[in-house]
Amino acid sequence: MTALIIHGHFYQPPRENPWTGNIEEQLSASPFHDWNERIHAECYWPNAFVQNGSEAAINNYANISFNFGPTLLSWLQEHHLGTYQRILEADRESARKRHGHGNAIAQAYGHAILPLCNDRDRLTQVRWGLADFRFRFGREAESLWLPETACDEQTLDLLIEQGIRYVILAPSQAKAIRAGEDDWQSLTASGVDTSKAYSYTHRTQRQRQLAVFFYDGAIAQAIAFGQVLRSSKDLIRMIKAAAAHGPMVNIATDGETYGHHFKFGDLALAHALEVEAKSEGLEVTNYGEFLDRNPPEQEIRIQTASSWSCAHGIDRWQTDCGCHTGGEVGWTQGWRGPLRKALDSLRDVLASDFEDLGTQLLREPWDARNFYIDLILDRNRSLAEFFARHARGSLSLADQARALKLLEMQRNALLMYTSCGWFFSEVSGIETIQILRYAGRALQLCEELGFSSPRKKFVDLLELVPSNLSSVGNAGRLFEKIVESSMSVVLA
């Protein structure tokens, strides 16, 4: 039987007010309170409880490979515990069926574009994502979803160093292959064989590798942007045609495709995998189980700084490359580069302040930041245990509070880079406002700690970030009007 692996990347940007922890009403999500609630109703819950006549509800998560963004899982745990528990149950069930390989994989914590992160932030994003996975699923992750599949060699080397077994990339990200010590052969997106795994070798630690899977781009496009989900038979027919070319068909799309982007997509997915796949000689499995049976036979090189949602590599998150979603005729995304420059400037000031005070309070501040995820995930975890491990000597309660405020400043600085802030067409969109709110919260914590405020320089740089709307003007005005005004209301 041909192996069939369908991967769903389930993710929403964090939406909470950084000062209250609550999600405010989002009128664009009407009739729901906010977009998390709307997409839960249209996708996350339906896929957990697919209605199948009089039979027990089908759990689609038990039949697909999947990742959930850590901040989304945190929200589900708090607001929709039944859905959250079905997701965890699906991983346990799949692990029992598939020789210990659960369907769930991890995700880099804040959905930042990892090739655009500096070394410290990239490490923390990965470490926090793996820790979040371990906390929720009770096991080590075999893989980690790279936000937007954005990747470079430095990122893959880091994943190897963190014990990752495999990654999932777009076919356009393949550059060259070779067998053994043969010469490298250049590839195009249509030239890479997506029916098997490849081996990527660490650039300096040549004895260490991870496997790379490239998903079937044609089927993924048909699911995400075509009409193939109108019929499970059409979906299986397309998969069956691809199955003639190798031992596996693997597909990756946004998980929200199944129910949110396409109504009843959850039903098509359930019927395809529960009923039709087996009759067509397709074995529903996941990457870990397939890799046990089919280890890589060829080595792969990947394109430099590439992704699945930008034809220009990773420029969608730093330049006006032409890739965007929504917007009006004549709009540009010239705001992307200046916005990143402003945030990078703020990040660097906050990092210097963190080191200056952090070295007085903590043995190794950046190591402490990597372990701060333990307190984020479980506020009941003993602070005494954390400080026994990371504090420089015995800290007073006041100094412990300062250390925690420093770490919280860094958490907000990391969330400033959530990729959705650059993805769409306009700087005044809700996703970009959200990352500016994290910047505002980080600034406030910096000032509360007594550091010289970088606010003026930051706002000056934001004023160089143009909006397509004359009523908005620039991101500096946006920051003062929306972010700081809402902050003052909260603090009043």
Question: Cα(2)–Cα(20) distance, rounded to whole angstroms?
Answer: 50
The pLDDT of 236-259, averaged and rounded, is 96
pLDDT at 486: 77
428, 472 Cβ separation under 8 angstroms: yes
- Of 5, 98, 132, 12, the closest CA to residue 430 belongs to 12
Q: What is the pLDDT of residues 404-420, one digit of tens each?
A: 999 999 999 999 999 99
Q: Which of 1, 7, 140 is closest to 63 using CA atoms?
A: 7
Question: What are the pLDDT digits (tens) for 425-475?
Answer: 999 999 999 999 999 999 999 999 999 999 999 999 999 999 999 999 999
Average pLDDT score over residue span 20-26: 93
Rounded to whole angstroms, how far apart are CA atoms 122 and 125? 5
* Structural contact between residues 109 and 125, judged by C-beta atoms closer than 8 angstroms: yes
Question: To which H or E segment does residue 174 belong?
Answer: strand 174-178
Q: Where in the chain is the domain with CATH 3.20.110.20?
A: 2-302
Task: Say which DSSP state 213 is in.
Answer: E
Domain 2-302: CATH class, spelled out: alpha beta
> Residue 43 burial (CB < 10 Å; 0-12/13-18/19+)?
buried
Phi, psi (5° rounding) for residue 281? 75, 30
Q: What is the mean pLDDT of residues 366-391?
A: 94
Q: Which helix (H) or strand (E) holds 6?
A: strand 2-10
Structure tokens at 68: 């959930």
d(C-alpha 101, C-alpha 115), whole Å: 28
pLDDT of residue 489: 65
Distance (Å, whole) CA 262 – CA 228:
10
pLDDT in tens, 316-353: 999 999 999 999 999 999 999 999 999 999 999 999 99
Question: Confidence class of residue 379 from pLDDT cuts 50, 70 and 90?
Answer: confident
pLDDT tens digits, one per residue of 117-151: 999 999 999 999 999 999 999 999 999 999 999 99
Q: Which contiguous run of DSSP H or E holds residue 253?
A: strand 248-254
pLDDT of residue 485: 82
Q: Which residues contact 424 (CB under 8 A, 6 or more apart)?
A: 324, 325, 326, 327, 431, 432
In this predicted structure, the answer to whether residue 276 has a pLDDT above a threshold of 80 is yes
Average pLDDT over residues 191-211: 96
Q: Prior bond to 247 cis, omega within 30? A: no
